[in-house]
Amino acid sequence: MTLVSPVRAGTETATAPPPGRRAARRAAGLAASLGVLLVVAAASVAIGAKPITLGEVWHGLAHYSGSDTDVVVRDVRVPRTVLGLLVGAALGLAGAVIQALTRNPLADPGLLGLNAGASAAVVSAISFLGVTSLTGYVWFAFLGTAVASVLVYALGGSRGATPVRLALAGTAVYAALYGYVNAVELLDTAALDKMRFWTVGSLASANMTVVKQVAPFLVVGAVLALALGRSLNAVALGDDTARALGTRLGRTRLLAMAAVTLLCGAATAACGPIAFVGLMVPHVVRALTGPDLRWTLPYAAVLSPVLLLAADVIGRVVSRPSELQAGVVTTLIGGPVFIYLVRRRRMAQL
């Protein structure tokens, strides 16, 4: 069943007000969202264990003098914020694409067991291959995500996906892989020590090397996702209609899965599994823009980093002087939203 409501999409375009004005309104909304994003990004640089004024931020960026404040700005806060921007955008885009592709409003990279794939690969890398750097994790996280995404999609979604089936396929993959992750962690205490910090998903260990490492993949994935908006719109109308409209379904699905794998794999590699951003933001966005993916995707790309950076900032503030990891904060916000969605929609027989 499609809760993304393709029917409404059709009628809306039919009875829409002059397209020019709609587009202008949506563009204005996008600009406003960008403004919010800037504010949150500035807050993310300024707020933390050491409060920094915006003037000092500017000084650190423009006239680097090597003072403590400048070092904090350049080497800690800015990389962290940039990574938050990139990863947030990636998670939002991936969530929107997965939900459109599976016509499933509850699809989310974390829920679908993709993160479990990344975890399994990373724990293997740590324990068996002695990989210890974030730079090294990236490839393994990619591989794990790719394998898990193929597996879950084949099991739960290849034809006539229902939300329950996908969620269960994700749970099953998650269970099987986490059994393995547990086993490795129990046998290898050093791996447990690394994994327990990686697993919660945090921006805290961000640095410019990591940013440079994952940025190319995130950018390619994002471009791919944004370019797929039109085809995914057609997919939302149902396989037959999409085919009749000239969409090449197989190619679209493949490209979409590739985009999701690139985005999730890189995001997870950079800061560990962060759940629920990809689930929540597309819902908020659809409430703002309607179901047209050509708008949903850019909005998701802008608003998701807002959520992630805000969660990160909240995590820095609530338990000073230590931090609550961004992944924990997003899940604690996202869980109730998920349950609310399950309760509100007529989920019966989804």
Partner 1 sequence: MNASVHESKSGTAPLAPVRGATLRTRGGLSLRVDVRAALVGLALAVVALGMSVVLIGTGDFSMAPGDVVRTLFGGGTTIQDYIVNELRLPRVLVGLLVGASLGLAGALFQSVSRNPLGSPDVVGFGQGSAAGALTVIVLFQGGPNEVAAGAVAGGLLTGLGVYALAWRKGVHGYRLVLVGIGASAMLSAVNGYLLTKADLVDASRAMVWLTGSLGGRDWGQVVPLACVCAVVLPLVLGHARELRMLEMGDDSAYALGVRVERTRLVMVLGAVVLTAAATSAAGPVAFVALVAPQLARRLTRATGPNLLPAALMGAALLITADWAAQRLFGADQLPVGVVTGVLGGCYLLGLLLTERRAGRI
**Is the separation of the CB atoms in 247 and 254 below 8 Å?**
no
Which residues in 322-341 contact partner 1 (CB under 8 A)? 324-325, 327-328, 331-332, 334-336, 338-339
Which residues in 64-83 contact partner 1 (CB under 8 A)? none
Kindly report the length of the chain: 350
Residue 167 in the binding site for partner 1 (CB under 8 A): yes
Residue 155 in the binding site for partner 1 (CB under 8 A): yes
CB of 280 to partner 1, least distance (A): 12
Burial 4-37 (b: 16+ CB within 10 A, else e): bebeebeeeeeeeeeeeebeeebeebbeebeeeb
Q: Find the distance separating the first CA and the last CA of the chain, reported in whole Å.
A: 6
Q: Which residues contact 132 (CB under 8 A, 6 or more apart)?
A: 126, 194
For partner 1, give the closer residue by CB, 113 or 221: 113
- Residue span 173-192 as binding mask against partner 1, x where in contact by CB under 8 A, dash where not: xxxxxxxx-xx-xxx-x--x
Which residues in 254-293 contact partner 1 (CB under 8 A)? 275-276
CB of 309 to partner 1, least distance (A): 18
Return phi, psi of residue 58, to 5°.
Answer: -60, -40
Cis status of the peptide bond prior to 321, with omega within 30 of 0? yes
CB of 11 to partner 1, least distance (A): 29
Q: How far apart are the C-alpha atoms of 235 and 6, rounded to whole Å?
A: 9
Residue 275 identity (one-letter amino acid): A
* CA 147 remoteness from chain centre: 18
CB of 94 to partner 1, least distance (A): 17
Residue 40 in the binding site for partner 1 (CB under 8 A): no
The window from 14-22, 61-69, 131-139, 164-172 that contacts partner 1 (CB under 8 A) reads 164-172
- Figure out which of the listed residues 47, 71, 168, 288 binds partner 1, where binding follows CB under 8 A: 168
Reported as type and span, the H/E element at residue 269 is helix 249-271
CB of 121 to partner 1, least distance (A): 16
The residues of the shown chain that bind partner 1, judged by CB under 8 A, are: 106, 110-111, 155-156, 162-165, 167-169, 171-180, 182-183, 185-187, 189, 192-193, 196-197, 199-200, 275-276, 324-325, 327-328, 331-332, 334-336, 338-339, 342-343, 347-350
